[in-house]
Structure 1
Amino acid sequence: MNLSETSISDQPASRAKRPAKPAPGVDPSAASPIPTSPLAAPVVAAGVATISHLSEKLAEYMTPADLKKVREAYRFSDEMHLGQVRKSGEPYISHPIAVAEICADWKLDAQAIMAALLHDVMEDQDVKKEELIERFGAPVAHLVDGLSKLEKIEFQSQIEAQAENFRKMLLAMASDVRVILIKLADRLHNMRTLEVMAPAKKRRIAGETMEVYVPIAHRLGLNNIYRELQDLAFSHLYPLRYHVLSKAVKAARGNRREVVKKILESVKNTLGLAGISAEVYGREKTLYGIYKKMRAKHLSFSQVLDVYGFRVVVDNFANCYVALGTLHSLYKPMPGKFKDYIAIRKLNGYQSLHTTLIGPYGTPVEFQIRTQEMHRTAESGVAAHWLYKNSDANMSDLQQRTHAWLQSLLDIQQQTGDSAEFLEHVKVDLFPDSVYVFTPKSKIIALPRGATPIDFAYAIHTGIGDHTVGVNINGEAAPLRTELRNGDIIEIVTDNSSRPSPTWLSFVRTGKARSAIRHHLRTINLPESIRLGQQLLNQALNAINIDPQLPDHLTERLLNESSAKSLDELYADIGIGKRMAALVARHIFGMLGGEAASAPVDHTSAAELDPVTIYGSEGVSVQLAPCCLPIPGDQIVGQLRRDQGLQVHTGDCTVAKRQRQKEPDRWIAVKWAPELNRRFDTRIKLLINNEKGILARVAAEISESDGNITFVGMDEDKEHILHQLRFTIQVKDRVHLAGLLRNVRRVAGVNRVSRERA
């Protein structure tokens, strides 16, 4: 994904130096015919873009004083962009005007409209924030700054720059949601005018839109923008598929016109007879929505029957349910196709009743039933705060939900190591599918689909998540990795002495939980990570004949070039897998003048360095992989995982082999310490006869063999003749395990016993 927009369609084809004043004879406020489309591009006449249409929109809700400020911002932006043109040949100022017009349709305030007009002047013309503060005030300057990218800062990689740009935008949005509204308007106009770009750039920009901006629009409840961005991105990502589907929908529109007309008439008459005042109208699914359904369910277009739906907008809350009953008496409902998003609204504040009925000719037809207020929120989302300034409860609740999500962005930022990790966490929370679960006191908590009790615990409070030891789901104990389902009642069991486990990272779903766990692992185990990182770096330096004791001036240079505040921070980054010891050693080699630091690594690899000794008591900086559970005596290898330290696998672990093919540079040699004074978990499986007392006999033999059982599971065959038992047991080493397996094999009724591998 590419978050850098230096070549996006809002950039000029040629860039002029900052001009001193507007061209003579050009009146920035010259009148021009008004476009017919409410969101049309700004008027362009004889190469001059004007704000006559924008001014008319603003005059509907702004004071003359605010309009004067907007005109001042326009004149300044026009001056700054003088001489710049877009790829289409239009004056560049036409783009900021179009963005401002979209914002005006949401009735955003004067500060936001001014920021929309000025949103590119810092990036394109080196206008300083201080100058904007002096001319237009601090609020406008802060908005423009939040919309500007960080092109002037040098980053280690393009990916890092992209992630940092996105992080900056989201954090600005967390303090002022107008930032993302202007950014979405900017992206919408860019997507509407993307045709002039080269095919590769169109695909890249469309992919970024689909991956980042479409989910944000959905998360903020901006349904109109969400649908349009989605279809525009689809048309540029898959132009042939878009064209074929568009043609098929147009044909179907004609074929189904009579069916739609018949349903509309029947529904209006039935609701009228029931005394319900309602607006009823047909609604066509987006092309991307149809495409997704075809892909997900492996259907042809002709098999997608519910291309059309109907929306019923009633006058009050109670009539939503009366209308539902009336429609169910008119057409038969499809079982399992009713959803009440009024009682339990979606994460983005959306409320409606959804039901699918069997219409005329056996065609499934979806209905959405809602009030006028719910409809406004559904279409405009968080922008409804500006569109409809009233005390409606739905609006205030939506603002609270949005504020809570934006606050969670700040929480994640405080616990996150770098921009790439921040982006990873936030994108997880942008997925629209949700599950709704309850606390023991019946409070509803919305979580992403696939969330676990750990996600639930962190959603309640970071302190509860950190101290979680167990969970009761619907009154029964359940594993912490259990995926939650709609309607589950969750009770978290905590212990103040408990701490987060690194294994939680393999199944948590929310960005908040993931960032909190990583933050804990980084801070609590810092001394251990520093020791491991220093050991790894010293080994890497010794392997290329460099003394680990660097002169002070080289140490200072290394810290500056690696953006680390201290050697301990550098060691910690290596210990948790954030940096590779071999690459840091090569960088030092380059600084010493042996060869350029950027030269290819073609000598000793990380795996060929002296092995790291494993004692089994290192804590979370060194973990024994749960897939293969290595024990002393096994051949082992180590994997440096990003922000999770060193993970030890058996040499024949199939999971390790797959991961080693993907990232060979992250693997190092490890060895067991000569003396280990602890026991290690391992798994065994047995095939036994289904007979009385067999489990007791096996458990007794394991105990007599000095093994400790920590888990027992059983798989039953269909004929009920044989069972497969699974044990997790604690042993000293391979020799101890071999003796235990021999003893268990002699138990009557045991047909086969072996160690269970990944």
Structure 2
Amino acid sequence: MNLTSPDSSLSSAATTKKRAASPRSARKPANTPPLPDHQPALQPGVASITHLTTKLAEYLTPAELKKVKEAYRFSDEMHLGQMRKSGEPYISHPIAVAEICADWKLDAQAIMAALLHDVMEDQDVKKDELIERFGAPVATLVDGLSKLDKIEFQSQIEAQAENFRKMLLAMARDVRVILVKLADRLHNMRTLGVMIPEKKRRIARETMEVYIPIAHRLGLNNIYRELQELAFSHLYPLRHRTLAKAVKAARGNRREVVSKILESVSTTLAATGINAQIDGREKSLFGIYRKMHNKHLSFSQVLDVYGFRIVVDTFANCYLALGTLHALYKPMPGKFKDYIAIPKLNGYQSLHTTLIGPYGTPVEFQIRTQDMHRVAESGVAAHWLYKDEEGNLSDLQQRTHAWLQSLLDIQKQTGDSAEFLEHVKVDLFPDSVYVFTPKSKIIALPRGATALDFAYTIHTDVGDQTIAAKINHEPAPLRTELHNGDIVEIITSPSSRPSPNWLSFVRTGKARSAIRHHLRTINLSESVELGQRLLSQALAMLNLNPVLAPIVVDRLLNESSAKSLDEIYADIGVGKRMATLVARHIMGLLENEPLVTPLLDMEGVAAPGKMDPVVIYGSEGVSVQLSPCCQPIPGDHITGQLKRDQGLVVHAEDCNIAKRQRNKDPDRWIEVLWGEDLNRRFDCRIKVLVHNDKGILARVAAEIGDSDANIIYVNMDDDKDQLMTQLIFTIQVEDRVHLARLMRNVRRIRGVTRILRDRTG
């Protein structure tokens, strides 16, 4: 091939002969099966970087451009002979990723990482070699982009979660990691058509669940919209084609309306003296589909398919243009949003208003300045596109850095990769509410966040010590959902500690991870003790000695990625690991080893495997919980379920919920027994059907107190006109005998028709 210039154009075909002599080129390319003897070898395709170097020459120095070309040559050599599913040389993919990064004007290190991003994963290039050739920053970026294919995981889900965790933590330290990764995913989605349908759907779903929310969170709206369209087309190809056809058919009918609006708005703004750039745009197919799906509309009912963007020269003209538009067309009530005064979490700023246009058609307008438009389209990448001369961080950069720092905080407090990913996904939820501190500072939270989430957003210590909240100067429960404009005040106490119940209503990842971390920490000894008991019993079932030899412990820790045996015990105690599975793993480690010591009975014959019941005292803390659905009390026959992150949950044996869950997952159930000398009281519910007589509630409550029981909750029917009323009490009793005595006493009250224990949850 003829090269126009050695400096500006390099091709994979042109350097084949030179690389053939290199020891590196002998390395077997990934995913390239050997060709049969009778089949001629395919000639490598050509992938030029002329277009890339032209883009880079606009803003990189010659020295930086030289380093980029060195990275290209190395990547080309590593991927030599490797082909994509489309038949193109594999090097075409890194080049395309680098070109997307060049559009954002990312620095030379990021461009080099884009060119090298697959060499560690596909060609087994070590990080040390990249450090030696291209420097530590580039090697760290490539390492953050590489998957963990060489580690064995228990499941595909666990492997995926760990890969995301690694990538997001690398992103938290250097945001360029996620920018290159998004460019990588964008090119993969653009070329996804050659994949089999099942793989297309899997990759598209992964893109929709993780990468699109990240792009939105970082304000990368161009990529956000394109990834949405591509993922939609591969997830639901028939719906995408049908909707595209409908939009194309409607386009001609609405052209007259769009032209008329453009003309009238342009004329009116010019007459007011506002210099504006006006663009009419069609809503994306996914945006139309989402509106149809969420609001249960047909296509013909989605009227605002078109929107208009008005870019003005000054901040003040945004509001002047808004007033001009409202004078031209009538605004729809409740359809105005000021994202300039209160920007979105990702830094987006614009005025949004929906007006009733010609022929009664709703039309959406977005009004912003040129600077706002740059951030709206490029988000955090605008930091590289348009750097501040003094290098100061913008509000967007500060918010992004704060969010990235929160990822590191969550990682420190999170038990495993799946939990970490769960917390991060929560924080990627796009809708937000904006509330105020008592000192009028604006705090942005995900939709559905509670007063307790607000406390943890202020600081982890504030959340841990929260005892009450005031919303708009009125006392409110901690579980109260917040709304835009709420003023929230948190009341704390140094003696307060997080409750396990908080996990049932907090919304943000930071709050959930902090609560779980605290519960794990303060109850670590309880969880370790319970886990040790469960593992010892599981080993006994397999006739193995519960006292593990040091060599077995070392091998177990190496293969389970745990730091200590106590960590494994704690994981078993909180339900993250199954004692029976760990015991079987230990048995596998002992195969062909002279370390197996069977447990022998009196006759010297191996005892049959039988797991002794776990004894429950009710004072174990959160590592053992009594299920709220059936509220077992001493005297009830009970059974135990090991639930992930909740430890041992105790049910009554005849609990319907327990029966259903036991049928679904029998391996997580163990035998449990009540201990002796239980020095505490237990919650239970009773229902009392009474005549609607004056003072009946007081008489029943007094009798419960006289029976030495404590009332902690009472509820009754709202309908006061009925002859009969059902009272529901949650009371604290010692055991079944105490409860039976109380029920006999209440039954004797005049006006009480029926009393029974409620175990329906």
Relative to the length of structure 2, the TM-score reads: 0.88
- One-letter amino acid of the structure 2 residue matched with residue 194 of structure 1: L
Instruction: Check if 1:675 corresponds to 2:672.
Output: no
Instruction: Please state how far the C-alpha of 1:203 moved relative to its aligned partner.
Output: 1.3
Name 2:119's counterpart in structure 1.
Answer: 121
* Structure 1 Cα separation of the partners of residues 690 and 389 of structure 2: 68
2:128 pairs, out of 127, 130, 134, with 130
Q: Taking structure 1 as reference, are residues 370 and 662 closer, same or farther at Cα in structure 2, changes over 3 Å only?
A: farther
Counterpart contact for 1:99–1:116, Cα < 8 Å? yes
Counterpart contact for 2:44–2:81, Cα < 8 Å? no
SS at 1:256's partner residue?
helix
Instruction: Please state how far the C-alpha of 1:481 moved relative to its aligned partner.
Output: 2.4
Instruction: Please state how far the C-alpha of 1:315 moved relative to its aligned partner.
Output: 2.1
Between 274-283 and 573-582, the greater mean CA deviation after superposition: 274-283
Counterpart contact for 2:44–2:89, Cα < 8 Å? no
Q: Deviations over 1:185-233 (max 9, x none)?
A: 0110111111111111111111111111111101111001001001101
1:52 pairs, out of 30, 39, 50, with 50
1:182 pairs, out of 171, 180, 199, with 180
Name 2:642's counterpart in structure 1.
Answer: 640
Q: Taking structure 1 as reference, are residues 79 and 548 closer, same or farther at Cα in structure 2, changes over 3 Å only?
A: closer
- What pairs with 1:136-147 in structure 2 (closer than 5 Å)? 136-147=134-145
1:491 pairs, out of 485, 489, 492, with 489
Instruction: Check if 1:525 corresponds to 2:527.
Output: no
- What pairs with 1:261-660 in structure 2 (closer than 5 Å)? 261-390=259-388, 396-593=394-591, 609-660=611-662
In angstroms, what is the RMSD of aligned CA positions?
Answer: 2.7
Instruction: Please state how far the C-alpha of 1:706 moved relative to its aligned partner.
Output: 1.6
Instruction: Please state how far the C-alpha of 1:243 moved relative to its aligned partner.
Output: 0.6
Name 2:702's counterpart in structure 1.
Answer: 700
Counterpart contact for 2:700–2:746, Cα < 8 Å? yes
* Structure 2 Cα separation of the partners of residues 46 and 535 of structure 1: 62
Name 2:719's counterpart in structure 1.
Answer: 717
Q: Taking structure 1 as reference, are residues 132 and 553 closer, same or farther at Cα in structure 2, changes over 3 Å only?
A: closer
Q: Deviations over 1:254-279 (max 9, x none)?
A: 11111111122222222233332222
Instruction: Please state how far the C-alpha of 1:469 moved relative to its aligned partner.
Output: 2.2
- One-letter amino acid of the structure 2 residue matched with residue 60 of structure 1: E
Instruction: Please state how far the C-alpha of 1:748 moved relative to its aligned partner.
Output: 5.1
Q: Taking structure 1 as reference, are residues 742 and 327 closer, same or farther at Cα in structure 2, changes over 3 Å only?
A: farther
Instruction: Please state how far the C-alpha of 1:657 moved relative to its aligned partner.
Output: 3.8
Between 170-179 and 636-645, the greater mean CA deviation after superposition: 636-645
- One-letter amino acid of the structure 1 residue matched with residue 19 of structure 2: P
Between 553-562 and 188-197, the greater mean CA deviation after superposition: 553-562
Counterpart contact for 2:469–2:491, Cα < 8 Å? yes
Q: Taking structure 1 as reference, are residues 116 and 681 closer, same or farther at Cα in structure 2, changes over 3 Å only?
A: same
* Structure 2 Cα separation of the partners of residues 523 and 669 of structure 1: 27
Instruction: Please state how far the C-alpha of 1:314 moved relative to its aligned partner.
Output: 2.1
Instruction: Please state how far the C-alpha of 1:363 moved relative to its aligned partner.
Output: 1.7
Aligned residues: 712
Q: Taking structure 1 as reference, are residues 491 and 567 closer, same or farther at Cα in structure 2, changes over 3 Å only?
A: same
Name 2:227's counterpart in structure 1.
Answer: 229
* Structure 2 Cα separation of the partners of residues 201 and 750 of structure 1: 65
SS at 2:227's partner residue?
helix
Q: Deviations over 1:357-388 (max 9, x none)?
A: 22222222222222222111111110011111
* Structure 1 Cα separation of the partners of residues 391 and 268 of structure 2: 30
Between 244-253 and 707-716, the greater mean CA deviation after superposition: 707-716
Between 371-380 and 451-460, the greater mean CA deviation after superposition: 451-460
Instruction: Please state how far the C-alpha of 1:169 moved relative to its aligned partner.
Output: 1.0
SS at 2:481's partner residue?
coil
- One-letter amino acid of the structure 2 residue matched with residue 521 of structure 1: L
SS at 1:424's partner residue?
helix
SS at 1:440's partner residue?
coil
- One-letter amino acid of the structure 1 residue matched with residue 431 of structure 2: D
Instruction: Determine what percentage of the aligned residue pairs are the same residue.
Output: 79
Name 1:22's counterpart in structure 2.
Answer: 19
Q: Taking structure 1 as reference, are residues 363 and 423 closer, same or farther at Cα in structure 2, changes over 3 Å only?
A: same
- One-letter amino acid of the structure 2 residue matched with residue 524 of structure 1: I
Counterpart contact for 2:540–2:610, Cα < 8 Å? no
Counterpart contact for 1:707–1:729, Cα < 8 Å? yes
Counterpart contact for 1:19–1:80, Cα < 8 Å? no
* Structure 2 Cα separation of the partners of residues 623 and 292 of structure 1: 41
Instruction: Please state how far the C-alpha of 1:453 moved relative to its aligned partner.
Output: 2.3
- One-letter amino acid of the structure 1 residue matched with residue 412 of structure 2: Q
Unaligned runs of 5+ in 2: 1-11, 22-42, 594-608
- What pairs with 1:126-205 in structure 2 (closer than 5 Å)? 126-205=124-203
Instruction: Please state how far the C-alpha of 1:53 moved relative to its aligned partner.
Output: 1.2
Counterpart contact for 1:529–1:621, Cα < 8 Å? yes
Q: Taking structure 1 as reference, are residues 540 and 446 closer, same or farther at Cα in structure 2, changes over 3 Å only?
A: same
SS at 1:49's partner residue?
coil
Runs of 4+ in 1 over 6 A off after TM superposition: 391-395
Q: Taking structure 1 as reference, are residues 352 and 166 closer, same or farther at Cα in structure 2, changes over 3 Å only?
A: same
- One-letter amino acid of the structure 2 residue matched with residue 553 of structure 1: I
- What pairs with 1:718-737 in structure 2 (closer than 5 Å)? 724-737=726-739
* Structure 1 Cα separation of the partners of residues 330 and 569 of structure 2: 67
Counterpart contact for 1:373–1:394, Cα < 8 Å? no
Counterpart contact for 1:377–1:395, Cα < 8 Å? no
- One-letter amino acid of the structure 2 residue matched with residue 548 of structure 1: P
Instruction: Please state how far the C-alpha of 1:580 moved relative to its aligned partner.
Output: 0.8
Name 2:740's counterpart in structure 1.
Answer: 738
Name 2:605's counterpart in structure 1.
Answer: none
Name 1:63's counterpart in structure 2.
Answer: 61
2:253 pairs, out of 249, 255, 258, with 255
* Structure 2 Cα separation of the partners of residues 630 and 314 of structure 1: 67
Instruction: Please state how far the C-alpha of 1:632 moved relative to its aligned partner.
Output: 1.7
Instruction: Please state how far the C-alpha of 1:550 moved relative to its aligned partner.
Output: 3.3
1:214 pairs, out of 212, 215, 224, with 212
Q: Taking structure 1 as reference, are residues 439 and 279 closer, same or farther at Cα in structure 2, changes over 3 Å only?
A: same
* Structure 2 Cα separation of the partners of residues 249 and 19 of structure 1: 49
Name 1:5's counterpart in structure 2.
Answer: none
Counterpart contact for 2:144–2:177, Cα < 8 Å? yes
* Structure 2 Cα separation of the partners of residues 428 and 699 of structure 1: 44
* Structure 2 Cα separation of the partners of residues 744 and 492 of structure 1: 42
Q: Taking structure 1 as reference, are residues 719 and 295 closer, same or farther at Cα in structure 2, changes over 3 Å only?
A: farther
Name 2:30's counterpart in structure 1.
Answer: none
Q: Deviations over 1:667-710 (max 9, x none)?
A: 22212123311111223344556665444333322222222122
- One-letter amino acid of the structure 2 residue matched with residue 22 of structure 1: R
* Structure 2 Cα separation of the partners of residues 237 and 354 of structure 1: 30
Relative to the length of structure 1, the TM-score reads: 0.89
* Structure 2 Cα separation of the partners of residues 271 and 401 of structure 1: 34
- One-letter amino acid of the structure 2 residue matched with residue 500 of structure 1: P
Q: Deviations over 1:479-510 (max 9, x none)?
A: 32222222222222222222211222222222
Counterpart contact for 1:88–1:196, Cα < 8 Å? yes
Between 614-623 and 135-144, the greater mean CA deviation after superposition: 135-144
- One-letter amino acid of the structure 1 residue matched with residue 79 of structure 2: H
SS at 2:19's partner residue?
coil
Q: Deviations over 1:269-296 (max 9, x none)?
A: 2223333222222121111111111111
* Structure 2 Cα separation of the partners of residues 652 and 436 of structure 1: 47
Unaligned runs of 5+ in 1: 1-14, 25-44, 596-606
